[in-house]
Chain A
């Protein structure tokens, strides 16, 4: 091919005028690509990308759920722990109160018992004293009569007179005691 032929060819076909066969081949080539890439392959990758997005979002959702669950559990445990602490302190307080109460009751009982014992002792003593006093009184009467009989020499057989005399003597004795006191 010579330069003349080249120039001729260049003049024949301006670069702005398309060749018919290139239009046909270009159209065919484009159609081929659009059918395979555009119609078959693009939907596939789009589906995969959507699935990937869903998978990632699902993963994030799952993680968030797990985190929320863990948080709820933690809160629940904390609440339970606080409740247990509260309960324990309440029990301690109650026990302390009960202990104090029992102590007070025991003391009360013991004091009552002591009082009762003292009172019983007092009563016993009083009774003993009364008894001793009565015995002493009788003894004293008899001794006094004996003594008086012996001194006076007169027999005081008569019971009534005897008693009257003794009583009078004792009264005199008591009143003289009171006077002394």
Chain B
């Protein structure tokens, strides 16, 4: 991609932009068979194989992969599920664990050498997860609080002076039904999108100044760029984990909010 860009305009550096995310099909003609699609499938496979090798025959005294995966399980249970779901935590662990691992592996694809494309930077994938949680949230809310009670609890939380509701009710409705699912998906998408763009930018600058247009003045910039690429990769690793954690946490929060009306 970078090479193409450089070839197209040999004399001028062009920073990578959103076109970075428009990847042609692997097999021309089969429009849906693109790199993100393949990586999404690969991610699912990675998660399933990893979890299968860890949890298919779990031992009382954990060894090897089970040990590592149990750390993940404990993390999701203690940091994500229990704070928001309390005693219902165990029932929703399957979903939350799947979401956490899947999102994390999607994100990790952004720094795996040669693959280097975060799956969640294509918004369709976060939308699938956030949309599922959204539908589940509304279903659970209506089931546990009643179709009317759900919206009543959402828009008219008790214990506030009456005039406040005039402002609050529509805001709460908008927040819960429109803004929350939108930000749920977009937060993950935007983080991965921006992160990938930053990495691409620094590596493109480094490549440009050290290989394409090597000059005494440009070389230090190129070196700094490479260093920045490495540093940003470290930061990106952290953000990838953080976003997976946050995504799963919000899912737990939405589910918990539907199971029990907020007080």
Contacts and interface: CB of A to CB of B under 8 A. Distances in A.
Q: Do A and B come from one complex?
A: yes
Interface string A69-86: 000000000000000000
Interface string A102-113: 000000000000
B24 A1 contact: yes
Nearest to A9: B22
B55 interface: yes
Contacts, number: 131
Interface stretch (B3-11, B137-145, B166-174): B3-11
A19 B122 contact: yes
A131 B122 CA distance: 155
Chain A interface, DSSP helix/strand/loop, else mixed: helix
Contact of A52 (B8, B60, B123): B60
A51 interface: yes
Nearest to A43: B94
Contacts of A15: 18, 21, 121-123, 189, 193
A32 interface: yes
A3 B8 contact: yes
B101 A37 contact: yes
B19 A41 contact: no
Nearest to A36: B48
Interface in A1-33: 1-3, 6-7, 9-10, 13, 15-19, 21-23, 25-27, 29-30, 32-33
Contacts of A32: 44, 48
Nearest to B41: A29
A21 B32 contact: yes
A16 B162 CA distance: 39
A38 interface: yes
Chain B interface, DSSP helix/strand/loop, else mixed: helix
B31 interface: yes
Interface of B: 4-5, 8-9, 17-19, 21-22, 24, 31-32, 36-37, 40-41, 43-44, 47-48, 51-52, 54-60, 69-70, 73, 90, 93-95, 97-98, 101-102, 121-125, 127-129, 132, 186, 189, 193
Given A10-B17, A26-B129, A29-B44, 20 more contacts: A3-B4, A9-B22, A15-B18, A15-B121, A16-B189, A22-B36, A25-B37, A25-B41, A30-B102, A30-B128, A30-B129, A30-B132, A33-B102, A34-B98, A36-B48, A38-B94, A41-B55, A42-B55, A46-B90, A49-B73
27 contacts: A3-B5, A3-B8, A9-B22, A10-B19, A13-B22, A15-B21, A15-B122, A18-B124, A19-B124, A21-B31, A21-B37, A22-B125, A23-B124, A25-B40, A26-B40, A26-B124, A26-B125, A26-B128, A29-B40, A32-B44, A33-B102, A36-B48, A38-B94, A42-B93, A46-B90, A48-B58, A49-B73
